[in-house]
Amino acid sequence: MGAANDINVLQFIVIGVAMGFIYSLVATEYTLIYNATGLVNFAHESFIVLGAYLFGGTFVRALGLPIWLAITLAIVSMVLFGIFASTIVLNPLRNLQFVTYAMFGTMMLSRIIIEACRLLWGPLPFTVKGFLRGSINIGSAALPTSYVYIIIVSIVIVTGLQIFFKTTRTGKAMICVSQNKDAAALTGINVTRNINITVAMSAALCGIIGILTAPLFNINTGMVASTALKGFCAGIIGGFGSYPGAIVGGILVGLLEQFGIMFFPATYKDVVAFGVMIIFLLIRPSGIIKAKKA
């Protein structure tokens, strides 16, 4: 260094795509719950935080387990937690007369989970040493290792979900429930059990997001506050309720954010996602890819 160079555009594109996949995962999780229950799950952020704390705080730091085992147990724990949350909270809430009450319910669930994390693991942020550290070079750009795993895992999850929904009986039942719960019930599908499975899958996905973002944001109760909001924006931009829309919206938000940083002060990067969301709400509220409904 010492001589000025042109801005490394490839670096911004690479980071933009990687962050976009994080937003896509978050948007996918919103979509899962929304399609199954008709609710926007505002406890979503706390699910991610809980997953990260279980992985880093309990299984790695407290119990000293190998990383692979800690990841497995964290995901299993989140599945069980998802079933619990669905049975106790989300399933009863979806039947409330006013959907606003249900949304408040998810917000309160979020607060309870976050406070529980603070009480159980303490208020101090921490990290998992040596987990997904380092970077690889792609041309002139450097991509942190954690982003590589995020991209790979995101592609696997999205592909897996598509195969699951199209080829398995449970997946097809979940599609039926998302399109019309009453009709699904009439055909013999157990709607409540289906919703429990959906929320369990969503909780597992949140756990995975928490594990993948732990090296990026460090583990603390506010680690994904901004990311969760931007994932929500990505879902709206891509088309709320649409899985392909969640991917497209996420990557678009990630890229626009990085291009914004190239030309404007970096402190305004959060404005990009929210600004684009407002534009879409005004001119194309269904998003880029409209979700299919019966």
Partner 1 sequence: MKKRILSIIIAASMILTLTACGQSTPSGSSASASPTSGAATGGQTDDKVYGDPIIIGLSLPVTGEQAAGGLQAKCGAELKISEVNEAGGIKIGDTWHKLEMRIEDDQGNSDLVLNTVNKLASEGAVAILGPYFSGQAIALNDTVKELKIALINSCTSVKIRELQNPWLWRNRCDDGINVQIIGKAVIEDGATKVAIMCANDETGTAAAEGYMKYFDSKGIPYHVEWHTKSDTDLTAQISKCIAEGCDAWVSSTHDTAAVAMAKGMYELGLRNQKVYMNPILAQAQVLEMMEPEWVEGWRCVSDFSYTDTREEQAEFTKKFIAKYNMNPDVQGALYYSHATVLIDAIERAQSTDREAIRDAIASTNGLKTLVGTSYASQYTDLLYEIGIAEIQNLEPVIVGSVSVAEDYGFGK
CA distance 212 to 203: 14
Mask for 214-253, x = binds partner 1 (CB under 8 A) = --xxx-x-xx------------------------------
Q: Does 187 bind partner 1 (CB under 8 A)?
A: no
Q: Does 95 bind partner 1 (CB under 8 A)?
A: yes
Residues 6 or more apart in contact with residue 30 via CB below 8 angstroms: 40, 41, 44, 231, 232, 235, 240, 246
Find the shortest distance in angstroms from Cβ 64 to partner 1.
17
Subset of residues 137 to 156 that bind partner 1, contact rule: CB under 8 A? 137, 142, 144
Q: Which of 20, 26, 57 is nearest to 224 (CA)?
A: 26
Long-range contacts, 269-275 (Cβ 8 Å, 24+) = 270/226, 270/230, 273/23, 273/229, 273/230, 273/233, 273/234, 274/229, 274/233
CA distance 56 to 214: 8
Q: Does 120 bind partner 1 (CB under 8 A)?
A: no
Q: How many residues does the chain have?
A: 294
Cα distances (Å, whole numbers) of residue 151 to 12, 119, 258: 15, 33, 17
Choice between 115 and 160, CB closer to partner 1: 115
Find the shortest distance in angstroms from Cβ 49 to partner 1.
13
Which of 96, 148, 153, 185 binds partner 1 (CB under 8 A)? It is: 96
Residue given tokens 């069980």 in the structure block: 80
Find the shortest distance in angstroms from Cβ 102 to partner 1.
9
Choice between 220 and 242, CB closer to partner 1: 220
Between strands 135-138 and 141-144, the pairing is antiparallel
CA distance 107 to 87: 17
Subset of residues 15 to 54 that bind partner 1, contact rule: CB under 8 A? 15, 19
Which of 84, 104, 149, 164 binds partner 1 (CB under 8 A)? It is: 104
- Interacting residue ranges for partner 1, rule: CB under 8 A: 1-8, 11-12, 15, 19, 88-89, 92-93, 95-97, 101, 104-105, 108-109, 111-112, 115, 118, 123-127, 129-130, 133-135, 137, 142, 144, 216-218, 220, 222-223, 258, 261-262, 265-267, 269
